[in-house]
Amino acid sequence: MFLTPRLVILLPTVLFLLGADAKIPRVAHPGSKQAKYLASKRPTTTAAQVSGSFTGTGWSASAPEVSAPYANIWQELTNDEAADVIAFLHNQTNLNLTAAADAGSWDNSVMRVEIVTPNKTDVLPFVDNSQRKPERWARAAIWVGATTEPYVIEYQIGPLPISSDSTLTSLDWLTTKGTTYQRNYDADEDLTSEFMYNVSASVQDIVTDLLNGTASGSDDDDLDIWGIDPLWHPTPDTTVQWVTYWRIPSSIFDGETLMPQGLYFEVNTTGRDPLGWSVIGWLYRDVYYNSTENFRAAWEAGELEKSALNLEGPWIGTDYRGPTTSVGANSTMWGSEKAPPVMVPPSGEDGIRYKVDVENKYVEWMDFSFYIAFRRDSGMRLFDIRYRGERIVYELGLDEALAHYAGNDPVQSGTAYLDTYYGFGPYAFELLAGYDCPTYSTFLNSTFHAEEVSTTHPNSICLFENDQGYLIQRHSDDAYVASTKNIAFTVRSASTVGNYDYNFDYTFYLDGTIEIVVRASGYIQSAHYYGNDDYGYHIHSGLSGSMHDHVLTFKADIDILGTSNSFANHTVAPVTTTYPWSHGMERSTMKLFRSYIDNEDNSKLLWPENAHSMFMIVNKDAPNEFGEPRGYRIMPSKGGGMHATIQNSSNLINSMNFATHALYVTKQKDTEPRASNANNDYDPANPVVDFAAFFDGESLDQEDLVVWFNLGMHHVPHTGDLPNTVFTTAQGSMQILPHNYLLHDPSRDSLQTVRIDYNDSGVQAVHTFGASFATGLVNLTSTVPEFWDYRGDIDVRKFPYDPQHPYNDTESIV
Ligand SMILES: [Cu+2]
């Protein structure tokens, strides 16, 4: 999952279109050469189509309405709020801002504006005790380019709405570094790309001979040059980067990351003056040349044996291939041309069993309720998840996604993506009804504001109820059979961050369980195959499936009957013991051992071998009537929990301390809202937020606790990852489930239960408990998606504010 090639040096034709990207400070105008390139790759919607039908609140709101008990105080900035904040920033003359649309790398400009997630300690008095509503504040990331040492910095602006009382102040309180200042060593990426193309041009005869292509930054190129992420600093004052050649697909298929070409070079790009930049060396077939001259001499001497090239072919396409494929003839799956079973709601919209407040993104389903928010960095998050009226989870969402590669070549070895730098929000495109989600889903929009453009992804969050395909309960004997349907409710979004597609599910079950699932599909980032059998499998002629770890860090702020909670560890372990009845004989057996993890000094945890321990958030002061503390357990489900293999990354240094263990418990602090920061990637040795700093020996005994857990996989791509990784296996999930929380299984309160009594004479009684059954006819045609309605995104220019002229500008990193 989660392969995000460094877009700054990816396709020069696309670069300047990526307004939402943190490292890409400049925006192309619709209709530019770049926009046309994308238009050729991805069908776009005209502004007329966009403005004709878009309501701004949600494409579909067919679910019964409900009024949220209070306004969604976590919701992203509205388009108007964002425009006001950006205008306010432009009025701060000391910021010396240039409109993002006009800014160059030597200007200062607004990278993104967003809501400051309100402090929990301000929210709870408002939500629980009707005290003062928390003020609404925005945060802004500013690109400071008008200096020889460019940097990015964040401020907070508020209160909102903007008035004479509003101020711009420091956001340093949200960091562990003490400042949001983050040095940007890649401010001149357009020039570094140009420099690399010039380097390539200086050896074009060799590139033609070895790679049969050209990388010059023009639209006619068949090769691309990009490499490590983040950049390296061998000394604090030096910036270097290794890059390699990739073949640009000529078809619509986005398979560039499947076509590495096996030639690498290293450049020194220290400072802002391209005249000071230089080539350090070249690498080909595991031989290092310490100058371009030496590389050329070897080539001219005929010493360079040619490697197999990775060339475009049907193998990179994801279309149906036809009956003749690489695995042989007549391999079409029999019957696959027939329409498969489809999901339908029993009575159309009347049958929908959940309620939605679209304006507040508030949802009620069965015994659960929650609010949805959306962030540029991390995408969808949930707040104030309540079960049977009690808050179970205050906040649940992704905090960071690491994809750490390895290899014998410097580009794979130097790649360790921190995906919130690119952001999940910018790439959470419209979901495809009928494919991503059932056609009967309720779809919500999401919005983020970057480069002074507000982008709305229509239908990018879906809500639906469906049958899980297995029962939640059954039992039978010689007199009866009893069964309960396992109907669950899912909130879903998907983000295409570079070559990989992440699917995020939050699923709610009738037994009170919440499941967090992340799945990955899309294109792997591969390596050229040469001498790297220790780093992955040989999966195509010149291709290694470059091994890598995906670690996705989630925050789960769990509250059990208030915020005074403890973290329990109940372990089953083998013992040898005697009993009064065992006549003095020792018996080999097992016992349950109860303990607590009561301090942050001991709260970096691994999932126990053989799953012999249960971890729970409990409230010691709220035992049930049998004396057991009520709680919720956290437990890996699909794929299990995991952590990074590499513990002291040469690439990320101090910026992956959230990935060293499988889960962590900390005391909740308003100053520690997120395990990472999108700007860490600019200078990973000096992260804005270093998760390690959260652990400062504080008590975890009846305190407000936060659990941070990792999902992901150790991904060693095999031939089945071609052309795309598949969701069936690339998935991980965690369950948060009631543990002595109620006095019985709450799914007994679902009416979707049947008991059939029978004997030798046949069925004697059928008990359906008053549940309705589906009746009438189904219009199956109504389940066919409206493919031609798909739009991707809708953009509105903020400075100058131009809400009357939305346009489509769907982004792609690769
Ligand atoms: Cu992967």
CA of 416 to the centre of ligand 1 (A): 12
Please give the Cα distance from 561 to 705 (Å, whole number).
12
Q: Predicted confidence band at 783 (pLDDT cuts at 50, 70, 90)?
A: confident
CB proximity list for 268: less than 8 A, separation 6 or greater: 238, 239, 240, 277, 278, 279, 280
Q: In the prediction, which pLDDT does 312 show?
A: 96
Cα of 400 from ligand 1 centre, angstroms: 15
pLDDT tens digits along 655-682: 999 999 999 999 999 999 999 999 999 9
256 CA → ligand 1 middle, Å: 15
- Taking only the tens place, the pLDDT of each residue in 243-261 is 999 999 999 999 999 999 9
Q: Which residues are catalytic?
A: 419, 500
For residue 548, report the distance from its CA to the centre of ligand 1, in Å: 6
**How far is ligand 1, taken at its centre, from the CA of residue 254, in Å?**
16
Read off the pLDDT band of 351 (50, 70, 90): confident
Q: Which CA distances in Å does 20 have to 87, 105, 498, 536?
A: 18, 16, 13, 33
Residue 20 binned pLDDT confidence (cut-offs 50, 70, 90): very low
Can you read off the two tokens belonging to residue 511? 């037994």
> Which are the contacts of 151, defined by CB distance < 8 A and separation ≥ 6?
144, 181, 182, 183, 184
User: Which residues line ion ligand 1, judged by CB < 5 Å?
Assistant: 715
CA angle 671, 674, 679 (to 5 degrees): 105
- pTM score, whole prediction: 0.91
Distance 529 CA to ligand 1 centre (A): 17
pLDDT for 54: 30
Rounded to the nearest integer, the mean pLDDT of the chain is 90
Contact by Cβ (8 Å): 593, 582? no
Residues of the chain with pLDDT > 70, as a percent, come to: 89
Compute the distance from residue 359 Cα to the ligand 1 centre, in Å: 36
Crossing angle (nearest 10°) for helices 204-211 and 292-300: 50
Q: Are 69 and 436 in contact (CB under 8 A)?
A: no
Residue 331 phi, psi dihedral angles, 5° rounding: -100, 10
Q: What is the Cα–Cα distance from 436 to 449, expressed in whole angstroms?
A: 25
* DSSP assigned state of 8: G
| Collapsed DSSP state (helix, strand, coil) of residue 457 | strand
- Crossing angle of helices 204-211 and 189-202, rounded to 10°: 80
Rounded CA separation 688/655 (Å) = 9
Between the CA of 14 and the centroid of ligand 1 the distance, in Å, is 24
Task: Measure 476 CA to ligand 1 centroid, in angstroms.
Answer: 43
3-state SS, 725-736, equals ECCCCCEEEEEE
Q: How far is the CA of 715 from the centre of ligand 1 (A)?
A: 5
Distance 717 CA to ligand 1 centre (A): 7
- The neighbour count for residue 507, using CB atoms within 10 Å, is 18
CA 1 to ligand 1 centroid distance, Å: 4
Supply the pLDDT for residue 795: 79
Considering only 382-391, 410-419, 501-510, 782-791, which range has the smallest mean pLDDT?
782-791
Q: What is the pLDDT of residues 95-129, one digit of tens each?
A: 999 999 999 999 999 999 999 999 999 999 999 99
Work out the end-to-end distance of the chain between its first and last CA atoms, rounded to an integer number of angstroms.
14
For residue 250, how far is its CA from the centre of ligand 1 (angstroms)?
A: 24
Ligand 1 midpoint to CA 758 (Å): 52
Q: Which of 565, 482, 496 is nearest to 747 (CA)?
A: 482
Q: How confident is the model at residue 615 (pLDDT cuts 50, 70, 90)?
A: very high
CA of 648 to the centre of ligand 1 (A): 20
Please say if the pLDDT value at position 37 is more than 70: no
